Structure 1
Amino acid sequence: MVEIILRTLKPSDKTQIALLANNKKIWDNVRDAFGHPYTEKNAEEFIQRQAKSDTEDVFAIDCQGELCGLIGLILQNDIYRKSAEIGYWIGEPFWGKGIVTKAIELITIYAFDKLILIRIFAGVFEYNVASMRVLEKNGFQKEGIAKKAVFKNGEFWDEHRYGLLSPQTATR
């Protein structure tokens, strides 16, 4: 198995992020705010925003010393303050190698042990079966399907909602 770590974003990551993120296949599976085409300027602005954010916790997915994608948590507020939404993407050259599965495992440990969250959730577009599989491999359970909740590429799509409870909460 290859070594995967999650690390803080660095300004020097902008070139690799832009290189990997400027891919319509990735954009097809993320929110429109991600942007396409994706440039070094987009990456630089994203890294700067993340450095100042107190509501998002985003990490580089590092595989054997090479940035191969990003993974993060959007911390919720008010009555949902012990929950976070997980989001991730990985560059196409790294698909199918188990990297995202391991990255999700690492960020869930971080979320439950360091941030003391009790719930992580994700929304996945109906056609992104690979993303559903990696969540399920990490113990996420499908909680429901929001019919035609997503408007992407000029079409309406179902959103599959997944959730995972911390081990302490799940046993109560």
Structure 2
Amino acid sequence: MENQKIEIRKLKLSDTLQLAKLANNKNIWNNLRDYIPYPYSESDAETFINFTQTQDPPQSFGIECNNELCGVISLIIQNDVYRKSAEIGYWIGQPYWGNGIATKAVNLITHYGLKKLNLIRIYAGVFENNIASMRTLEKNGYSKEGVFRKAIIKNGKTLDEHRYFILSKNQE
């Protein structure tokens, strides 16, 4: 995908069909939290899009490549003493894998979180078998903080979680 234009933008109800089509994929769900449904229906997509439209400030975005919705990326701002931290989560639809889209989207939302939302820290938990996501984070300056041994149960398997983080330049 040469000369690709990658952006993150608010999701719209007109994204419902494409979002449902892309998210209804076991290969994607295998690396996501269980609260995200599988199978993923148009109703699930519509509910999620409506939820994102209530966020203030916006925290969840569609990832667009060449004017096509190809994934979702979010910052989950934490509470209480963690209020200047956020967890990043993202996925790219399988037809778009291997094109550097996630790397650019992580760059965009990291900049948004650290500069616009004035976060101090953004972190990610990555399932042990998701090497591509680990590389995406590393390419964006995230450092591996540690491995939480046998911290995740997914598809009946107990997995390690690799934890990555990045700090605002003021905090390094």
TM exceeds 0.5? yes
**TM score, norm. by length of structure 1:** 0.96
- What is the match of residue 27 of structure 1? 29
Q: Distance in 2 between matches of 1:70 and 1:144?
A: 25
Unmatched 5+ residue regions in structure 2?
none
- What is the match of residue 167 of structure 1? 169
CA gap 1:161/1:88 in 2 versus in 1, 3 angstroms:
same
Q: Which letter maps to 2:104?
A: K
Q: Distance in 1 between matches of 2:29 and 2:58?
A: 20
Instruction: Map 1:22-101 to 2 at 5 A.
Output: 22-54=24-56, 57-101=59-103
**TM score, norm. by length of structure 2:** 0.96
**Shift in Å, 1:55:** 7.8
Structure 1 range deviating more: 53-62 or 1-10: 53-62
**Local SS of the residue matching 1:33:** coil
**Shift in Å, 1:53:** 3.3
**Shift in Å, 1:155:** 0.9
Which of 154, 158, 164 matches 2:156?
A: 154
Q: Distance in 2 between matches of 1:102 and 1:169?
A: 23
CA gap 1:87/1:56 in 2 versus in 1, 3 angstroms:
farther
Q: Which letter maps to 2:158?
A: F
Q: Which letter maps to 1:109?
A: H
Instruction: Map 1:105-124 to 2 at 5 A.
Output: 105-124=107-126
Q: Is the 8 A contact 1:55 1:75 kept in 2?
A: no
- What is the match of residue 105 of structure 2? 103
Q: Which letter maps to 1:33?
A: Y
Structure 1 range deviating more: 161-170 or 148-157: 161-170
Q: Is the 8 A contact 1:56 1:74 kept in 2?
A: no
Structure 1 range deviating more: 70-79 or 56-65: 56-65
Q: Distance in 2 between matches of 1:44 and 1:89?
A: 17
**Local SS of the residue matching 1:120:** strand
CA gap 1:65/1:55 in 2 versus in 1, 3 angstroms:
closer
Q: Distance in 1 between matches of 2:120 and 2:6?
A: 24
Unmatched 5+ residue regions in structure 1?
none
**Shift in Å, 1:133:** 0.4
Which of 110, 113, 130 matches 1:128?
A: 130
How many residue pairs get aligned? The number is 170
- What is the match of residue 15 of structure 2? 13
